[in-house]
Amino acid sequence: MGDLHLSAGDETLWAVILGAVLATIGGFLSTTFEASMRRREREHGAALLFGEILSVLELIVDLAKASRDRGEPYGSFTMRLLRAVRREAETYARNREALYDLRDVRTRAQIHTIMVKVMMGLEGVFDATDRIEADTITNRQPGLDPTSKAEVEARLASALYERDQAFEALAETASGIAPIVEVLRPLAKQDFRVYSAVATA
């Protein structure tokens, strides 16, 4: 049996094959690394976005609670704060697809659940306020017969109770924000407590 001998052409062929294999592996590793980096960047951006939304939302709800406890419970300042909460909720809704850049399913579920509860609480407050304003105007109309007046006052009492319940639900929901923000903090590489610190300074 003769000895195997590689000719110059065979050596060149094997060199080309080895180079192609190494180039393929290198390209695959490079693409995987770049994809991983892009994923991390997107996750960082999502954590920063939702961390800021939740932190600001928590802060504004706390301010609204303090405002409600002083003076007119649902006066102009409290309602302006609640409209600011609604704007934060709308910002979340516009950017909701970025939620999927967060790899942890539990965190995604917690963020979405808490935002849905916030929006439901807000809708309850604003819907009840609209009914209160409409029934208050009706109740002040001259010549309203006693039966109609009693019906309007019953609706008013119901709407006032519903508004308080909706606000309490909103406040309770906001109290659960801090643990979620704490999970987002290392991903965002930012301490979101700076918002409350600035507000109380």
At 58 the pLDDT is 94
Does 34 or 167 have the greater pLDDT score? 167
pLDDT at 198: 62
Q: How does pLDDT run across 131-144, given as a tens digit for each residue? A: 999 988 888 888 77
pLDDT tens digits, one per residue of 148-184: 888 988 999 999 999 999 999 999 999 999 999 999 9
pLDDT, tens digit, 9 for 90 and up, residues 53-67 = 999 999 999 999 999
86-89: Cβ within 8 A, 24+ apart: 86/122, 86/126, 88/53, 88/56, 88/57, 88/60, 89/57, 89/115, 89/118, 89/119, 89/122
